[in-house]
Structure formats: structure tokens, C-alpha cells
Structure 1
Amino acid sequence: ISLQYDAIKKKDLKKTKTLSIPYYLRCNRESSRAQVWLDNQYFFNLKGYTKNINNYSIGKNSQRVGFIKSKKLEVLYNPKYGNIHYTLNGKTPNKKSSVYNGKMEINDTTQFCYNYFLNDRPIGVKKLAYFEKLMFYEGLTNLKNVKPGLKRITYTGDWGEYKILEMRKVHTSDISRDIIFPKLEKDQKLLVSYTGIIKMKKTLLYIFQLKSAIGFKIFIAGQKIIDKEQTQGMITASGEIALKKGYHHFRLLVVIYEGFQRVKQNNFSISYGKPNSRLIGIGEFQFFHN
């Protein structure tokens, strides 16, 4: 265990009576497992990140993280089990690949693939740490007649033809101040589209998280953030995007069933925030249309 802390002068403490000293359980040196750490956080256990973000899926023994500023990458391992060989393009490392010898700085999109090697032979299971540098999406400009709420349009049917919604017959159309479902008739099934703009107060890399038992698709700034069609129990899905302060295009598609509504199984929550921080719910005061 290594202890890390910041010294704080008494004059800066004000009324604070206690100091929180974070520590990191870095690595069991007797273990043969190599660990990737990113800015002093264990990479394969980073809170808020999943193997399926922005509809990008990578396989077993792989993980992905988006970033906007350079990151420090460190591999902790026990040298008695061998050396770490790696590549930066996702290809499987071999005995001629680069040998890890210290912290690295990640500035651009990188696929860090690594494995243990002993006597020029791989002795472990290769792992892939995928770092994707995200670009900021600019806010919308020259907006006129901006009003609160989202345009809500309902269509009969399921996900089957959602890509050509504009060619389907509209069931109802109105303005909704928030993501509120219309009440359905017996055995009715509708695909609901909410479109408009969302207001972001800060320029940040944002995480959006959905908890739901029904299917959702969420697009922000024209990018698919969450894609969940399953309806098999409560599922959590998340996505990330770098947004500049201001207004951005927003679209949400959801399929609702009267049967779910009747037994109150159509509950959901959508929250957002910075990576590795507490997420807050999206509120009606962020949604607009023009």
C-alpha cells in the first residue's frame, strides 16, 4: 500500500475539522497478474465505464475509456514472472514488441495491447486497453424562438422501422416539458420520439446513464449515446460524449407497452455528470425546442 496525500496549510482549513487521506492498494507484488493504472486509478475497474459505450463493443479481457486530456499510463507487475511486451495499435504483442519500462503518456487514440513474456514466450492472456481521444462538439448557434419542452410524436409499432419514422403515420403529436409517457389504451404499443435541444451549462466530457426495463435509444449532438432495445428486466446502460457549453441537438426514442404501464414496470431514470463523479438526473429545465 502506498499512501498519497496533500499537505494543507492551517489557514486554508477554515472550519474543516477532518482531513480525508486517500490511499491506493496498488498491486500484490507476489501476484503474477499485471495491472494497468490510469492517473492512479485501476484501469479495468474504473467507475462509470463499461465494455459497451457509444455502441462500441470490444471483447473479453478488453476495456475502453474516453478522454479529452493526456493520461499517464502505468503497468504494475512482478518482474520475476517475466517482462511486459506491448503494442500501441491493438495487434498481439510478440517477442520483438516493445518492452514496458516505465510510465507512459497517452495523448491520442491508442490501443494498448500487452502480455507477460518469459524466455521470449507469452505466458499469460493478452489484454487490450483502448484509449479513445474524444473531440468536443460545438454548441448550436443562431437559434431563434427557443421554447421549453420537447416535441413528442408517437407512432404505432415497435423498433422494426424506427430508422424511417418520418415515413410512418403519426399517432399523436404535442409538446412535453419532460420525458413523460402518454397513457396507453389496453394492449396498445407505441414508439415515442422526443426531439429538441438540451442545454449544457459547462464544457465537459459527460457520462450519460440510463436505468430502465424498457428499450431506449438516445442521441446527443447527432451521436448515438445509448442503444438499448432489450426489455428483459432492469438494465443499466451508459455512454459518453464531450460537449461544449450551450445548446445541442437531442433525440430520444422509446417503445412503451400498455402491459408494462399497467403493472408499473416502465420506470426509468436518465442521469449525467462527469466521469468518476456522482451523476444527477436530467431535468425538464434543460429541454427546449424551436
Structure 2
Amino acid sequence: MKNFLLYFLVNIITLQAGIAQQVFESSVKTDKKPWTNVQFYNDPQNFQFAIVSDRTGGARPGVFEDAVDKLNLLYPEFVMSVGDLIQGYTKDTTQIKLEWHEFNDILSHLKVPFFYLPGNHDITNQVMQQEWEKRYGRRYYSFTYKNVLFVAMDSNDDEDFSITIEQRDFVRKTLKDHPDVRWTFLFMHHPIWKYDTAQRFQEIEAALASRPHTVIAGHEHHYFHDPRDNANYYILATTGGSSAMRGARFGEFDHISWVTMTENGPVIANLQLDGILPHDISNALTNELTSSLLANTSFRHLITCNEGDEFEHGTVYFNFTNSAAQPLNINLRFYHHHQVNLQNSILDVVIPAFSDTIVALSLVAQQKSTFAALGFLQLDWSMAFTAPENPPVALDGRYKLYIRPSQPDYFAPRIPYFLDSLHVFYNSPFQFETRLTLDGTEPNSNSHMFMQSVLLLDNTTIKVKQVNEKNEATAVVDKTFKKRDLLKGVNPGVLKNGLRYSYYEGEWSAMPDFKNLKPQTYGIAHDLYVRDIAVRDDFFGLVYEGFLKITKDGLYLFRLRADDIGQLFIHEAPVFDRELSQDMRAQVGVIALRAGYHPIRLHFVEYQGSERLRLDARLAGEEDWDDIDMDQLYYLQ
């Protein structure tokens, strides 16, 4: 028996030696070797796979095709996707099939397995979801490969919270069923760790906390490495989707992510289609630099000119801000102007870290001319962070500015309404004399100086003009601030939580007059999820009616997020303010309300595509918006 075991072991050793000899064999017999070592990195448990990002959302022809060709040169063991493979956003089944045929024709050239994952362009609506399921079966699923768990999620699964409770439970069960894998990958289209998922994704993260894992998403067309809770989270850039393509440090590039699974976890490199990039190419540091750089490309400036209708002389003031911890280098090169002489045709400026700088450029007319005849100054510019400890981050471009007095609005607060009194400030970064009037007349040298603030007690229009030391001035800017009276609540009777709704159907591209239309159904709504009421995906409308409970007297801002169209009425008056909505880049209005119950009516129209209705509010002076939920909404029994 001992002889048999010895024979068996000798044969195993001989066999292993034979395999090793087949793997590496050399003619070099000397003690010195022309290599470092022969500890080859060839553990059979290690493997490499690739990830492609968004192809669509403004697909650029040929890019994804190029990626497939490059993948065939690299031979990963398989390819993962983060979605947005077709353009979608249609219910035309012929078009949907045509787009999938186009994509799969491109994919047919790939020599290794490809794992599909849905993006919002792939399953925009129920028709597209059904087509996906006919073709690919599951919208979320999992698999293991060499004892590594891969979970592909559908982040379009819930209109409001990205993933359904069922999908959350599926992921948690999958994790529970695979407790001993050596690594776990989560793939999804949207970076839902940044979204409100009603704590569903946070519950998945809690289940992930005790195991090594990596989370990978797409959708934003902007690469970002986001270390989070002792794990690496990644948002990939593009593999053909729309992009400004300003470069790697801006997170805007076409790439394939190359993942090598090692005994110590994954190592990720980004293979730009014309180069190779490290996994943290765009991160918190580069975001700090690029954000500061991009903020200055808007060229915040102020132009002051001589009084009168004809230009004689003036000054351009540039306000550059560096919010980064490194100096910012700016170079401006002005083109020749036939009517105006410039003090300098080239400006080189270094903005110290964490500082603001005002740069002045004097202008003198060769002869008097109307402002309309002057046209604009044109300049080429470049901006760069060039600290030796970091790779350079740079941009360049061209800009033009019209030679005329600026009319800047630096009034604060931005909300032009108040209750009892209001202190108004003029927060100009250009520290010149600021003259003002409150009686409707134009400011001049005899007008009062705008010192710290102006106290308003009634409706007032403030007119302001800034004047520099050369007696050059801006144009006059004015703003009207209005005093609002608190609206009293009503005594409606016996109330219950919820809103009454009326449901309509029709093809409206603008808000109809629902009073002249006959509703299809009536009911009580216990949330604002329009999909729960609608009996079809598109071309419908809703009117919600009831009462809003206000617990504190105050000036309230209301914000409506409607896809496609929404309008809010309180005490039968439309709430939203067009000028304020433009200023705040949202559908926003202001109304003064006393504590109590206030009649509310909410109109909604769904035309085509996705549908959404959300209403938020906050007191003037506060920063955070609060969702209005059914605890604040009532209907009359």
C-alpha cells in the first residue's frame, strides 16, 4: 500500500512538472536569467471581463461598432452591459423591432458572451418592456462565474423609486443564497444610490455590507468613481451615447471598462477607444478642478460705459472664481476691433486657490459711435490647472461679448414677495458705487447710495445703477418687490385624508379647460401616482381637488414637477409665477397662507412617454423642499 501511494504521488509530481514545463520552457541554462522571475499571473480562478456603457441617448454612429471590434481584439471572457442599447422612447412595435435588429446585428460580430441589462431607452414603456421580455426573458437576474456573483438590476422597475419591492426582495434573497462567493458585483443603469428609492436600495446595501462588493451604473454619460461605505461605486461614461467629449478629466469619453478579477478583488482599467485610463480618472479631486474651471467659462463680467447714447470709453470687468485648492491659470487673447482700442490685447491671469479675482480691461473709442454699431469683442481663451503633482486639467474656446452697459440683477433675496417687511440687498461682486431710487425715477449722481440693505414695508420698485471711479456706469436695473397678505383658511366640514379626482381622456398638447370636459371616472386618490388611476399609458388628464392643511402662518413656495403638464390652484387662483419659475429653473410659485385648511386644485395632462406628478413646498427663507403627502391633503366627505 505504501509503495502504491509513493508511486501515485511521484506520478502526480511528474505530471505537474510536465504541465509546468509545457507552460514555460526556455533554452537558457545559465545561473543568471534575462527575466525577473517566472511567477506567472495565471491563477485559473482569476478572469477578465469587459463592461460597455450607454450606446444611445443621442447615439453617435460607429462608436459602439468600434467598441465591438476592440473587444474582439482583447478577448474578455464575457461582456457586461449597463443598458441604453437602443434609442427607444416609442410604442411603434415595428420601430422597436427595427432598433433591436440594428443593435443585435452589431452585436453579432462580438466573439464572446454578452449580458443584456435594460436602460430607460430600452424599456421606456410597457410596449418596450413586453418586447424586452419576449426577446431576453428577465429584466433583472443573477449568475455566478468562478465563485463571483453577478447581479443585473432593472433600475426602471418603479416609476417613483427606481426598483420595486419585489426586485429588492429578489436581490436580497440572491445575496442570502450566495453567502460564500468571493466577490459580488451589482450592475444597474441608473446610479440609484443617489436617488430616492424609499430606502429599498439602502436595504440592499445593508445586505451587502458584510461582503466585498462593487456597484456599477451608467445613464449620466459622465464617468465618476464614488467610494462609498468601504466599496467602490462607479458611474460609467459612454460607449457611443451623447457626450460633450471634453476629455477624461471631465469624465466625458468613450470607453470599455476592463475588469481583472484577482484573489484580492477586481482591478478596473478604462480602455478609452483610443487609449487606456486608470479606474479613478474622474474623481472627487478632478471634479473640484473641472467644476471650478467650467464655472469660469461663462465669463461673468460687467461692462461700464460713459453716460449718453454714444460710446466714448468703457471698462470690461471679468470676475473669475477659483474654488479649487490649486492656482488656476487663465489666458485671454482679444481679436482686433476696428472701432475700439483695447488697453491690452493679451491678458494672463493666475487665480490663487480659493479666491476671487476681478480683472479690468479699458476700452477707448477711436471715434464716437452708437452702441448698436460697435458689435462685440471676440476673444480666444484657455484655462488650466497645472500643478506638478497632478495631471493638467485644461479647456480652451472662443467667447464674444457685446460692447454695451451691463444690466446685472444682483438683488437678494431672489423671491420678490414678503409679508410684513423685507431687507433687500444688492450683492454685486463688483464693488463700485451703487446708486438707487425707490420712487420710480432713474438713479443719478444725486441718488442715495445703496449701502448694506434697504428696508421695505410696502410694494416697492427699486432701481439701481453702479458707477466706477471713471464715472462710467452700468445700465439701470429694476426689480419690484410685492407685499402679500396672508390668505385665511376655510371651514370645510368633516374631512378625510386624500383628494377627489376626475379622470379624462384626450390628446392635449396644452392644458385644456377641464370644466368643459366630461370625466371618464371619479374617485378618491390616496397618493399622486397618476399611473395608479390611468387606464392607458398616454393621452389622459386628471383633476385633483380637496384641501391643503397648513400648520404655520407664512410665505410658502410651491414647486410642481409634472411630466408632461401640470398646474396648481389655491383658493381658485393659479399659483405659479413665470418669472420666478424661470429664475429657479422649475415650475414655482409663492403664496401667503395662514394656518388652516385651504382649497386646492391640481391639474395634470399626460401626452406621451413617461408620466410623473410631484408637489413640494417650503417656507420662504428655507432651503429644503418637503414633499406634500396625504397627511396634508384632505377631501370633504
Provide the alpha-carbon RMSD of the alignment.
3.5
TM-score, normalised to structure 1, is 0.65
Partner of 2:297: none
Query: What's the secondary structure of 1:166's corresponding residue?
Result: helix
Partner of 1:248: 598
Matches within 5 A, 1:32-111: 43-44=411-412, 46=413, 49=414, 64-75=415-426, 81=432, 83-90=433-440, 92-95=442-445, 97-100=447-450, 103-111=453-461
Q: How much does 1:199 deviate?
A: 0.8
Matches within 5 A, 1:1-290: 43-44=411-412, 46=413, 49=414, 64-75=415-426, 81=432, 83-90=433-440, 92-95=442-445, 97-100=447-450, 103-117=453-467, 123-141=473-491, 143-157=492-506, 158=508, 162-163=512-513, 165-181=514-530, 182-185=533-536, 188-226=538-576, 236-257=586-607, 259-260=608-609, 265-275=610-620, 276-290=622-636
The code of the aligned residue for 1:289 comes to Y
Higher share in helix:
2
Q: Is the 8 A contact 2:511 2:605 kept in 1?
A: no
Q: Is the 8 A contact 1:205 1:243 kept in 2?
A: yes
Q: How much does 1:211 deviate?
A: 2.8
Q: Is the 8 A contact 1:35 1:76 kept in 2?
A: no
Q: Is the 8 A contact 1:199 1:246 kept in 2?
A: yes
CA gap of 1:166–1:154, structure 2 versus 1, over 3 A, is same
CA gap of 1:122–1:88, structure 2 versus 1, over 3 A, is farther
Largest Rg, 1 or 2: 2
Partner of 1:15: none
Q: Is the 8 A contact 1:87 1:114 kept in 2?
A: yes
1:19-62 C-alpha deviation (Å, 9 max, x unpaired): xxxxxxxxx796899998xxxxx745x5xx5xxxxxxxxxxxxx
Q: How much does 1:107 deviate?
A: 1.1
Q: Is the 8 A contact 1:35 1:75 kept in 2?
A: no
The code of the aligned residue for 2:560 comes to L
Count how many residue pairs are aligned between Structure 1 and Structure 2: 227
Query: What's the secondary structure of 2:576's corresponding residue?
Result: strand
For CA contacts below 8 A with separation 6 or more, give which structure has more relative contact order.
Answer: 1
* In structure 1, C-alpha distance between the alignment counterparts of 2:431 and 2:495, rounded to whole Å: 64
Structure 2, unmatched stretches of 5+, are: 1-355, 361-405, 579-584
1:52-81 C-alpha deviation (Å, 9 max, x unpaired): xxxxxxxxxxxx521113222344679985
* In structure 1, C-alpha distance between the alignment counterparts of 2:535 and 2:431, rounded to whole Å: 65
The code of the aligned residue for 1:280 comes to D
CA gap of 1:102–1:146, structure 2 versus 1, over 3 A, is closer
CA gap of 1:88–1:29, structure 2 versus 1, over 3 A, is farther
* In structure 2, C-alpha distance between the alignment counterparts of 1:145 and 1:123, rounded to whole Å: 62
CA gap of 1:92–1:156, structure 2 versus 1, over 3 A, is farther
* In structure 2, C-alpha distance between the alignment counterparts of 1:70 and 1:112, rounded to whole Å: 15
* In structure 2, C-alpha distance between the alignment counterparts of 1:123 and 1:72, rounded to whole Å: 25
* In structure 1, C-alpha distance between the alignment counterparts of 2:441 and 2:576, rounded to whole Å: 28
Higher share in strand:
1
CA gap of 1:199–1:80, structure 2 versus 1, over 3 A, is closer
